[in-house]
Amino acid sequence: MTTEICGLKTEYIERGEGDIVLMLHGWGSRAGLFDGLIDLCAKKYRVLAPDMPGFGGTEEPKEPWDVSKYADFILEFLKPYSPKSVILVGHSFGGRVILKLAERDLPFEISKIILIDSAGIKPKRSIKQRASLFVYKTGRRIMSLPPLKALFPNAVENMRKKRGSADYNAASPIMRQTLVKVVNEDLKRNLPKIKAPTVLIWGTNDAATPISDGEMMEKLIPDSGLIKVAGAGHYSFLEAPEYVARVVASFLNIKEG
């Protein structure tokens, strides 16, 4: 389905009837990756899963966004449904947006939350990482000077490619700036504000958002429990779909089969 949200052409999935389950995908992903969980939840609920701006079939923002802008987008997306309560499901970046929503005075109740390999906790840089960043920034400033830029026009771009993450290097200029804004906001402060019962589902081998993040979230979110998916990585819901489906079905009281 297609609509317009915040002036952007937005694609989304809608299935089922009943109370709303909103699913928010991760960075560089799209709503379609939730297909299995969407089918499961649609047995009991109305499932809404938008492609967030800059991903899937939704246009990218006209300017770099931070997490607050994505939260605004989600609230605009939900407006036509006028929900009294919403169940929130977020993977990775989608979880980050949910943590941002937790600090808002919302027009609806968040009844339950499922966070899957969620982002939101800013990792502390080691001394080696801080030194590497200093060298990179210094080199970038030097190679951006007009005389050197004229002699070595591709130097700064080559430095960026060597240092940047796969997500950063694959992104458009606007989405690169957006990614920088997003990852530099630490939402750990919002965890104690979450009042809804929360299930944390985490791959034990997650290298993007390590299991220690899940353990910290379990400690700081008042009514939460951590389910560890042994051997799975950052996409635990795709790597162990049957196991994750059982967890989700149990938490949301969905009869399987």
Statement: residue 158 has pLDDT above 50 = yes
C-alpha distances (whole Å) from 33 to each of 24, 29, 37, 146 are 10, 7, 9, 45
Helix (H, G, I), strand (E, B) or coil at 54: coil
Rounded to two decimals, the pTM is 0.84
Mean pLDDT over residues 213-234, rounded?
97
Domains of the chain from N-terminus onward = 2-122+185-251 (3.40.50.1820), 127-173 (no CATH)
**Confidence at residue 125, expressed as pLDDT on a 0 to 100 scale:** 47
- At 146, the pLDDT band (50, 70, 90 cuts) reads confident
Render pLDDT for 225-245 as a digit per residue (tens, 0 to 9).
999 999 999 999 999 999 999
**Confidence at residue 123, expressed as pLDDT on a 0 to 100 scale:** 77
Parallel/antiparallel/unpaired status of strands 8-15 and 46-50: antiparallel
- At 7, the pLDDT band (50, 70, 90 cuts) reads very high
- At 255, the pLDDT band (50, 70, 90 cuts) reads confident
Statement: residue 218 has pLDDT above 50 = yes
Render pLDDT for 31-61 as a digit per residue (tens, 0 to 9).
999 999 999 999 999 999 999 999 999 999 9
**Confidence at residue 92, expressed as pLDDT on a 0 to 100 scale:** 96
Kindly compute the dihedral angle of the four CA atoms of residues 97, 98, 101, 102, in this order, to the nearest 10 degrees: -140
Render pLDDT for 180-191 as a digit per residue (tens, 0 to 9).
999 999 999 999
Q: Which two tokens stand for residue 84?
A: 């009294």
Mean pLDDT over the full length of the chain:
89
For the chain, give the DSSP string: -EEEETTEEEEEEEE--SSEEEEE--TT--GGGGHHHHHHHTTTSEEEEEPPTTSTTSPPPSS---HHHHHHHHHHHHGGG--SEEEEEEETHHHHHHHHHTTS--SSEEEEEEEES---PPPPPPHHHHHHHHHHHHHHHHHTSHHHHHH-TTHHHHHHHHHS-HHHHHS-HHHHHHHHHHHT---GGGGGG--S-EEEEEETT-SSS-HHHHHHHHHHSTTEEEEEETT--TTHHHHSHHHHHHHHHHHTTPPP-
